Amino acid sequence: MADLRDRKRQRAREKIVEAAFALFAERGFADVTVTEIAERAEVGRTTFFRYFGDKQEVVFADEQGLLEEMTEHQRSLGMISAQDVITALRQLRGTVLALCTAITKDEKHYVVHEQLLERTPELHDRSVRKLQRYTETIEGVLIDRGTPREVAVLAAQLALGCFHAGRRLAGFDPTQLVGEVDAAFERLVGKQRR
């Protein structure tokens, strides 16, 4: 059986995330202390910091899996190496849209999450950092596939730009995100995908 220890850890982690989101939804990010989260999750304060490097990290708890999903999606697309920016962008389009679909799947969670970011500058910063990480990973996939570095770096950054633009235009509406991001790509590279 899969280690009782592992299951316990998994459970503790979930309890912390639940407790944190409940409290953040009630009172916002700044007005909740780590001690309170720990109490509500029935763990020690020390334990909180063992699971999450800092208070902000808990907000992005379930985003770890997204990166792997995304790179997986991108890798699965085949091995045609793009030599120019527009072609590379067409290859990235589907992956970015898949990401949008994934994060808006749980609509309520998406809204709470976006509002937290909107209201808390540090969280917004952190979110952007994480997106940059994703972008650099995607850039790596392109390079592995034979796309020249200058092209890959630019294409990845532009794809991120489309995402940001779509997000801004969609506001907090989870049902509009995919459409707006797709429209942004369309404005850049035209109608055809991939």
The yes or no reply on residue 56 touching DNA (CB under 7 A) is yes
Question: What's the closest the beta carbon of residue 63 comes to a copy of itself, in angstroms?
Answer: 16
Six-digit token pair at 52? Answer: 């999450």
172 binds DNA (CB under 7 A): no
Among positions 25, 27, 28, 50, the unique one binding DNA when judged by CB under 7 A: 50
Nearest distance from residue 132's CB to a copy of itself, in Å? 7
> Given the complex with a copy of itself, which of 41 and 155 has the nearer CB atom?
155
102 contacts: CB under 8 Å, gap ≥ 6: 66, 69
Instruction: Look up tokens 């953040």; give the residue.
Output: 24
Smaller CB separation from a copy of itself, 18 or 148: 148
Residue with Cβ nearer a copy of itself (20 or 85): 85
Tokens representing 84 are 């120019």
Which chain residues interact with a copy of itself by CB under 8 A?
Answer: 84-85, 121-122, 124-126, 128-129, 132, 149-151, 153-154, 156-158, 160-162, 164-165, 168-169, 183-184, 187-188
149 binds, among a copy of itself, DNA, none (CB under 5 to 8 A by kind): a copy of itself
Token pair, residue 45, equals: 């304060």
Both tokens of 18, joined, read 């639940």
Our CB check for a copy of itself shows the closer of 102 and 183 to be: 183
Asked if 77 contacts 105 with a C-beta cutoff of 8 angstroms, the reply is no
Q: Count the neighbouring beta carbons within 10 Å of the beta carbon of residue 157.
A: 14
First to last CA, the chain: 43
Picked from DNA, a copy of itself, none, the partner binding residue 20 (CB below 5 to 8 A depending on kind) is: none
**Is residue 12 within the footprint of DNA (CB under 7 A)?**
yes
> CA 62 to CA 135: how far, in whole Å?
18
> Token pair of 53, please?
């490097």
Give the list of residues 6+ apart from residue 55 with CB closer than 8 angstroms, or none: 29, 34
Where in 78-137 is the site for DNA (CB under 7 A)?
none
What residues line the site for DNA (CB under 7 A)?
A: 3-5, 8-9, 12, 32-35, 42-47, 49-50, 53-56
